[in-house]
């Protein structure tokens, strides 16, 4: 998609330049100032729309590292949760270390850059809508579609902001004027969830059920994001109490997607993380990435820090799964999660000093999704080699595990010059999410048996032996291995919940555990804890235990009512001054 945008943008620039050279070559637009001359037509609007899509991955701003604003939220939804550590070593990217230990400061550049990314996206969508108003050669049918796509994107960007910050401004096309820097200085004193919902609902009512271009939202995508907005409003985040009226609204939307939408679960869990299975039958909306030998501009740059330290990647060791997460994949002998006791004993975690050091593997029962989510000792790592000590930069600092879901399989490796760039899409909305959100709603609405049926759909797919990681035996050379056909890599034991659910407390735990197991290391965990209103107790329990393993967490603590959200960036406040006063105010929790 980015490649398409860049090509069209170049054509637009060429067209504008050619026209201006004919008669108006003495009229020069000042450098550094954007001009909409020549864009108020069908081609120009389409180019601007593609420019708005180009911001959906969260990076691409000048002077800003790709991982600061990235849409997969591995820092903001993963590192600050119980799923992962910052990783690598103590001195690398210290601003992430501050976030991991809940030292949230409004001057943190990661927080600033996420703000910049989402509001740059908002600006581009409003520019599309305003330019479209002046374009006379756009058909009514296409005009309606452009508005719907732009409003979907505007809702998407604002949702990202609202997840991150308690108080954020909503900026619409009636307010935004491209040539007026003052126009976007909007106060952050109103709840914006209704505005986000309005954008998604407007898009849902116009978008088609199928798009010919991958990456453009459908009616179903808009409906799923509308339901997601309601799920974020489904609990009182101070008390953890459910808002059943809002959850009923979400249920209606989610049921329609599940029952009437064109989606199905993939046969195996792993297929949602393979380049070769992008935009599959489970996908509702994906962030599109592509790569060629000629350009890497549209590849998944936001995850380039999160690769093992060994060849063929060679860098950089960030975003290492936590011991707590690995322990969560233990099961009972009958194959069910250990909802209350999973963290009482660790899965063995020593990488040794060398990849060929002796190692006694854990023989207890495990959920097979573990080894598609986490790289761990003596287990084949996505078809490349067997995971060992050379994967890890500093085991004493950040543990022995590696992230895995974002890594491209070997047949899609090495296309570009940077070995950590690939075309592995980010599946930001898929049917399994719809199913488990619906299960959440059903628990709170008192329909426990329906919730059990929904959770079992997910567990049945996870239990498909065709999706198990196979056992591999190390060869004489480091990169050599032999797969033992028909033999799984570990003692995978997983089953469905067959006994009726009668206790809502237990049912709630089961659904939330399933959500963690299914979507771990995808940047959602912190925001799930936030919306359920259980972040403080979950994270403080996690920190207390993890500090015995990761000493740098010893002084970390999560303050309820404060750390559920990030502070508004100081830069944003300083740049919001209008008539002598800032229009943006700091979250009172950080005053």
- Determine the angle formed by the axes of helices 431-444 and 448-462, rounding to 10 degrees: 150
Q: Which of 501, 522, 543 is the last residue of a domain?
A: 522
| pLDDT tens by residue, 351-362 | 777 777 888 889
- Inter-CA distances, 180 with 62, 172, 310, Å: 21, 14, 50
Is there a domain that residue 33 lies in? no
Is there a domain that residue 28 lies in? no
3-class SS string, 206-268: CCCCCCCCCCCCCHHHHHHHHHHHHHHCCECCCCCCECHHHHHHHHHHHHHHHHHCCCCCCCC
Same structural domain, 139 and 218? yes
Q: What is the pTM of this model?
A: 0.92
| Residue 553 · residue 563 · CB < 8 Å | no
Same structural domain, 501 and 566? no
Same structural domain, 341 and 258? no
Same structural domain, 514 and 573? no
User: Does residue 284 surpass a pLDDT of 50?
Assistant: yes
User: Does residue 20 surpass a pLDDT of 70?
Assistant: no
Same structural domain, 187 and 77? yes
Per the prediction, the chain carries an average pLDDT of 91
Is there a domain that residue 11 lies in? no
| pLDDT tens by residue, 190-241 | 999 999 999 999 999 999 999 999 999 999 999 999 999 999 999 999 999 9
Q: Which residues is 321 bridged to in the sheet?
A: 84
Query: Is 323 strand, coil or helix?
Result: helix
Is there a domain that residue 534 lies in? no
Same structural domain, 574 and 515? no
Is there a domain that residue 528 lies in? no
* Contacts of residue 134, Cβ cutoff 8 Å, sequence gap at least 6: 40
| pLDDT tens by residue, 38-81 | 789 999 999 999 999 999 998 766 656 556 678 899 999 999 99
Q: Which residues is 488 bridged to in the sheet?
A: 470
Is there a domain that residue 361 lies in? yes
Per the structure, the count of domains in the chain is 2
Same structural domain, 324 and 235? no
Is there a domain that residue 554 lies in? no
Instruction: Give the model's confidence band at 29: pLDDT under 50 very low, under 70 low, under 90 confident, else very high.
Output: very low
| Residue 209 · residue 218 · CB < 8 Å | yes
Number of C-alpha atoms within 13 angstroms, CB side, residue 319?
A: 28
The answer to whether the bond into 316 is cis (omega within 30° of 0) is yes
DSSP class of residue 408?
Answer: P
Same structural domain, 48 and 163? yes
Which residue shows structure tokens 């009514």? 140
| Residue 411 · residue 204 · CB < 8 Å | no
Same structural domain, 331 and 201? no
Is there a domain that residue 565 lies in? yes
Q: Write the CATH number for 472.
A: 1.25.40.390
Residue 283: φ, ψ to 5°: -75, 130
| pLDDT tens by residue, 461-501 | 999 999 999 999 999 999 999 999 999 999 999 999 999 99
Same structural domain, 245 and 360? no
| pLDDT tens by residue, 540-554 | 999 999 999 999 999
The residue count of the chain comes to 591
Same structural domain, 390 and 507? yes
Domain that holds residue 426: 318-522
Q: Which of 471, 506, 522 is the last residue of a domain?
A: 522
Same structural domain, 481 and 569? no
């Amino acid at each position: 998609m980015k490649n398409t945008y860049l090509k069209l943008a170049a054509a637009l620039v060429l067209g504008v330049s050619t026209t201006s050279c004919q008669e108006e070559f003495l009229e020069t637009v000042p450098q550094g100032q954007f001009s909409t001359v020549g864009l108020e037509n069908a081609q120009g609007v389409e180019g601007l729309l593609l420019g708005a899509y180009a911001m959906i991955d969260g990076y691409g701003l000048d002077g800003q590292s790709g991982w600061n604003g990235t849409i997969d939220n591995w820092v903001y939804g993963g590192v600050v949760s119980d799923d992962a550590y910052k990783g690598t070593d103590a001195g690398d990217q210290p601003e992430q270390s501050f976030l991991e230990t809940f030292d949230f400061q409004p001057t943190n550049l990661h927080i600033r850059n996420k703000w910049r990314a989402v509001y740059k996206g908002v600006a581009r969508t409003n520019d599309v809508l305003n330019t479209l108003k002046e374009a006379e050669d756009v058909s009514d049918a296409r005009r309606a579609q452009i508005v719907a796509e732009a409003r979907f994107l505007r809702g998407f960007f604002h949702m990202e902001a609202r997840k991150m910050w308690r108080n954020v401004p909503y900026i619409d096309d009636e307010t935004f004027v491209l040539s007026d820097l003052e126009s976007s200085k909007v106060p952050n004193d109103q709840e914006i969830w209704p505005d986000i919902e309005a954008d998604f609902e407007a898009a849902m009512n116009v978008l088609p059920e199928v798009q010919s271009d991958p990456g453009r939202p459908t009616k179903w995508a808009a409906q799923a994001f509308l339901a997601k907005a309601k799920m974020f409003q489904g609990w009182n985040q101070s008390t953890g109490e459910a808002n059943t009226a809002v959850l009923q609204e979400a249920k209606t939307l989610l049921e329609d997607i599940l029952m009437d939408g064109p989606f199905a679960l993939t046969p195996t869990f792993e297929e949602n993380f393979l380049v070769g299975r992008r935009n599959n039958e489970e996908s509702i909306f994906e962030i599109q990435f592509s790569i060629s030998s000629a350009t890497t501009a549209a590849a998944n740059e936001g995850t380039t820090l999160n690769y093992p330290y060994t060849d063929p990647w060679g860098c950089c060791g960030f975003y290492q799964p936590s011991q707590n997460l690995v322990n969560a994949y233990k099961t009972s002998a009958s194959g069910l999660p250990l909802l209350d006791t999973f963290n009482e004993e660790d899965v063995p975690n020593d990488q040794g000093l060398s990849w060929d050091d002796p190692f006694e593997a854990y023989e207890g029962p495990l959920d097979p999704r573990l080894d598609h989510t986490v790289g761990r000792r003596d287990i084949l790592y996505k078809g490349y080699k067997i995971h060992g000590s050379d994967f890890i930069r500093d085991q004493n600092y950040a543990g022995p595990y590696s992230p895995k879901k974002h890594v491209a399989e070997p047949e899609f490796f090495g296309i570009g010059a940077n070995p950590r760039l690939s075309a592995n899409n980010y599946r930001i909305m898929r049917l399994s999410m719809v199913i488990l959100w619906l299960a959440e709603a059903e628990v709170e609405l008192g329909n426990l048996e329906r919730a059990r049926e929904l959770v079992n759909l997910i567990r049945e797919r996870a239990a498909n032996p065709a999706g198990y990681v196979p056992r591999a035996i190390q060869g004489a050379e480091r990169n050599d291995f032999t797969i033992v056909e028909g033999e799984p890599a570990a003692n995978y034991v997983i089953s469905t919940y067959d006994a009726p659910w009668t206790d809502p407390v237990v049912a709630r735990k089961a659904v939330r555990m399933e959500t963690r197991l299914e979507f771990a290391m995808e940047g959602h965990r912190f925001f799930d804890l936030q919306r359920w209103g259980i972040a403080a107790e979950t994270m403080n329990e996690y920190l207390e235990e993890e500090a015995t393993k990761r000493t740098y967490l010893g002084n970390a603590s999560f303050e309820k009512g404060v750390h559920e959200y990030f502070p508004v960036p100081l830069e944003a406040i300083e740049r919001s001054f209008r008539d002598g006063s800032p229009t943006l105010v700091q979250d009172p929790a950080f005053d």
